[in-house]
Amino acid sequence: MRWEIEDTAEQAAFRQEFREWLAANLPKGWMDAVDSGDADSFEKVRASSGFNPFAWTGTIGRSRYAAPLWPKEYGGLSGEPWMQQVIRSELVRYRLPTVAINLLGVGLAGPTIIEHGTEAQKERYLRKILSGEEIWCQLFSEPGSGSDLASLATRAVRDGDEWVVTGQKVWTTLAQFAQFGMLLARTDPNVPKHEGLTYFILDMKSPGVEVRPLKQMTGSSEFNEVFFTDVRVPDANRVGAVGDGWRCARTTLMNERVALSGISLDPVSFAGGTRRDPWRSFLDSVPDRSNPLVRQRLAQFYIETELKEITSFRASSARARGQQPGPEGAVNKVFNAEYNQRRSSFSLDAHGMAGVAWLAGDRDAEARAQTFLRARANTIEGGTSEVLRNQMAERILGLPRDIEVGKGMPWTDIKRN
Ligand SMILES: Cc1cc2nc3c(=O)[nH]c(=O)nc-3n(C[C@H](O)[C@H](O)[C@H](O)COP(=O)(O)OP(=O)(O)OC[C@H]3O[C@@H](n4cnc5c(N)ncnc54)[C@H](O)[C@@H]3O)c2cc1C
């Protein structure tokens, strides 16, 4: 990371401790090659080491460093938010993935279970989330309920010690690989929409769950439609009280904003595996850097990259004061999403015709186009930029609240599309 606050003695000691752990767990020569600044010698070490990013997420997941804020008894360090920042900066420095393959488990399900789950649920699920043994998905959005999530229609009806779930979800990322899902369902349709929801842990292999992958414009299938036909969920899998699902879901959503605001074109992502210094690679990838207009744009991206880092630090210092992720998560998420779109669009522009048409096998050109297409989703997933701006207007600027149709009315009486 290019922007750094000088470490306190405690932070420097923790950084050293984490470096020692990296040295003991990374292939021989890896850190020295990065420290030497010679991209070719690093590439040689990387290629010959057989480094496997999937196995690596398991290694770090079992080490306590993947979730330093989680309690010690469930695989974390019971630590401080600055520890996360130190770990992330070391991962970026040593060209390691900063995003777990089980992003939704580590970033969303884990914090929700820690805050609202029973001891038995914490014991059963948290460690396997960190080790990546059990992948999670988020079963919230439905065809008629995205931004207005609390209007959702999937029903859960109690039957003794079980609940019977019927309905449909959509945009469910990783559902095709997931063992468990965070399910938000309507348990009481006769009260106002936010009050009739309950939060469950759903075993994705339960009879009656059908997952249908959707193809995106990038050509891949990240997300799915998920159908439930009389799916039985034990009451022991309920998170929080009956009717308290909205409060639990808010914990998931706040943490989602923080998790997604950490994803950018710069840090070494899981999908991208290990690469060279990300900012340097970006600069090197831009042709015609002597063009004054190109230089202006690059300088602007540099300013924005610095701003992104500073805003992240502000968000983590709010958490250091013991606060739950709040509206600053929305600021970060909107800024990061729009930055990704501006930068991926610039990368295509900078290559002129080659940005949109290339010879088969040109992997750099393919990657640029993929990044551009995937970035379109950034301003939609995890809450759209419009809806997050509404939140900032209300919660940070104190402006009048957005109009809420059907406020206080029973869910059954509200007109839905
Ligand atoms: C790549 C990707 C992955 C996703 N993964 C998941 C997942 O794993 N699990 C999950 O549950 N969901 C997931 N989602 C769904 C995502 O959360 C929703 O798409 C998002 O909340 C928007 O809902 P919607 O698509 O129904 O759009 P709508 O809510 O129908 O919005 C349509 C348009 O209206 C605007 N709008 C709506 N309400 C307002 C308002 N009050 N003020 C101003 N403008 C408004 C929106 O900004 C948008 O432009 C994913 C989405 C994407 C793109």
Whether the CB of 320 sits within 6 Å of ligand 1: no
Residue with more model confidence, 158 or 402:
158
What's the pLDDT band for 282 if we cut at 50, 70, 90? confident
Closest CA to 116 of 261, 260, 242, 259: 242
* 278-285 helix and 292-320 helix, angle to the nearest 10 degrees: 160
> Would you state the structure tokens that stand for residue 383, as one six-digit string?
């809450």
Helix (H, G, I), strand (E, B) or coil at 155: strand
Percent of the chain with pLDDT strictly greater than 90: 71
Distance 16 CA to ligand 1 centre (A): 42
- Residue 269 pLDDT greater than 50, yes or no: no
Q: For 369-381, write each residue's pLDDT tens digit.
A: 999 999 999 999 9
Whether the CB of 98 sits within 6 Å of ligand 1: no
Give the pLDDT of residue 255. Answer: 86
Give the pLDDT of residue 404. Answer: 85
Give the pLDDT of residue 135. Answer: 96
- For all residues of the chain together, what is the average pLDDT? 90
Q: Which residues of 117-139 are buried (b: 16+ CB within 10 A; e: fewer)?
A: beeebbebbbbbbbbbebbbbbb
First-to-final CA distance of the chain: 46
Largest CA distance in the chain: 72
Q: For 329-359, write each residue's pLDDT tens digit.
A: 788 889 999 999 999 999 999 999 999 999 9
The ligand 1 atom nearest the CA atom of 104: 8
- Residue 315 pLDDT greater than 80, yes or no: no
Whether the CB of 249 sits within 6 Å of ligand 1: no
Among protein residues, the one whose CA lies closest to atom 2 of ligand 1? 381
What's the pLDDT band for 273 if we cut at 50, 70, 90? very low
User: Which listed residue (90, 134, 256, 309) is catalytic?
Assistant: 256
What whole-number distance in Å separates Cα of residue 83 and Cα of residue 70?
Answer: 12
Whether the CB of 136 sits within 6 Å of ligand 1: no
- Residue 270 pLDDT greater than 60, yes or no: no
Among protein residues, the one whose CA lies closest to atom 27 of ligand 1? 146
Q: For 106-164, write each residue's pLDDT tens digit.
A: 999 999 999 999 999 999 999 999 999 999 999 999 999 999 999 999 999 999 999 99
What whole-number distance in Å separates Cα of residue 214 and Cα of residue 226?
Answer: 10
- Residue 65 pLDDT greater than 90, yes or no: yes
What's the pLDDT band for 317 if we cut at 50, 70, 90? low
Give the pLDDT of residue 118. Answer: 98
- Residue 309 pLDDT greater than 80, yes or no: no
> Would you state the structure tokens that stand for residue 116, as one six-digit string?
């609202």
What whole-number distance in Å separates Cα of residue 101 and Cα of residue 134?
Answer: 10
Give the pLDDT of residue 263. Answer: 64
List the Cα angle 371/373/378 in 5-degree steps: 85
CA dihedral angle for residue 127, residue 129, residue 132, residue 136, rounded to 10 degrees = 160
Give the pLDDT of residue 322. Answer: 62
Rg (CA), the chain: 22
**Least confident among 170-184, 232-246, 292-306:** 292-306
Residue with more model confidence, 60 or 416:
60
Domains annotated on the chain, with CATH:
9-96 (no CATH), 134-248 (2.40.110.10), 253-396 (1.20.140.10)
Residue with more model confidence, 263 or 305:
305
Whether the CB of 172 sits within 6 Å of ligand 1: yes
- Residue 259 pLDDT greater than 80, yes or no: no
CA dihedral angle for residue 151, residue 400, residue 244, residue 66, rounded to 10 degrees = 100
What's the pLDDT band for 385 if we cut at 50, 70, 90? very high
- Tokens 């009260």 belong to which residue? 191
Give the pLDDT of residue 340. Answer: 93
- Residue 312 pLDDT greater than 80, yes or no: no
Q: Which of 129-133, 206-210, 354-358, 404-408 shows the highest mean pLDDT?
A: 206-210
What whole-number distance in Å separates Cα of residue 68 and Cα of residue 241?
Answer: 28
Give the pLDDT of residue 328. Answer: 73
Give the pLDDT of residue 271. Answer: 39
256 tagged catalytic: yes
What whole-number distance in Å separates Cα of residue 125 and Cα of residue 108?
Answer: 13
